[in-house]
Amino acid sequence: MPLVTAALSGFIFGLGLLVSGMADPNKVLGFLDLAGDWDPSLALVMLGAIAVAAPAYAWVRRHQRTLTGATLALPKRRDIDRRLVWGSAAFGLGWGLAGLCPGPALINAFALHGPALVFVAAMLAGMGLYGWLTRPGQ
């Protein structure tokens, strides 16, 4: 059952990215271009996502379980450290340069969009490098 739930959730997430335009790098770059031809439509998408996620998150915090009954381990840390700042900066830089973040990048890579394939390869390389640098004994 967890695999079916994960696949269904991923499908709905991907469909939402496509319908909202979040998978279109030009739309995202237009949203990030505050000094040029700014496209505010993705702000509405983000507000809609918050409106859906906030009550769901509140429910999860109260029940500590998913709708399927799986136990959740929510993060306890709330501090801002160097790793969080550098990771956020790397994410934002990649998003701003490519107009993609991981979900939309995967959608575009499956469509064999060249820049997305490069983005996903770089993302996987970065994840591998992080795993190698932070493994125990390093």
**In terms of C-beta density within 10 A (0-12 exposed, 13-18 middle, 19 or more buried), how is residue 32 classed?**
middle
In a structure prediction context, what are the per-residue pLDDT tens digits for the chain, which is 138 residues long? 788 988 998 999 999 989 988 899 988 899 888 898 899 988 998 899 999 999 988 988 888 888 888 888 888 889 999 989 998 998 898 888 888 989 999 999 999 999 999 999 999 999 999 899 888 876
Question: What does the pLDDT read at residue 75?
Answer: 84
pTM summary value: 0.76
Residue partners of 102: CB distance under 8 A and separation at least 6? 123
